[in-house]
Amino acid sequence: MEEIRRCTEELIEAIRKSDVYREYEEARLTLAAHPDLRNTINEFRKRSYEIQNSDSPEDVYEKMEQLERDFYMVRRNDIMNNYLQAELAICRTLQTINQELVGTVDLDILDFADAINW
């Protein structure tokens, strides 16, 4: 277990030193300096999350299109757009790491995989 902890700490350090994380932190700090833009971004992110995690997936596409129309100014503002791009990049990095880690262990879940919310 000690080796796993050590390797985990090394992974955390590698993530924090990565270009993708540094770019995210820079974009996050720039956004934080503009509370009005930060509030707009957080409302956009909240609504996006709610749509993507709703119980009615059949109209997700339509709702996401409406969200994009409602928040068209987000993509036109360099500070907000840069933040969203950087956030997406770090999230994809973390997803890749997570998939690699989870993929190394056979949890024997195929018999009930249909019940899992992937």
On average, the pLDDT of the chain sits at 92
User: 8-46: per-residue pLDDT in tens?
Assistant: 999 999 999 999 999 999 999 999 999 999 999 999 999
The mean per-residue pLDDT over the stretch 75-100 comes to 96
Angstrom CA distances, 13 to 8, 44, 60, 90, 117, stand at 9, 30, 37, 14, 30
Question: What mean pLDDT do residues 74-80 have?
Answer: 95
pLDDT at 110: 78
- Average pLDDT estimate for 85-111: 91
Q: What are the structural domain ranges in the chain?
A: 19-104
Specify the pLDDT at position 118: 63
Angle between helices 35-52 and 78-103 (to 10 degrees): 40
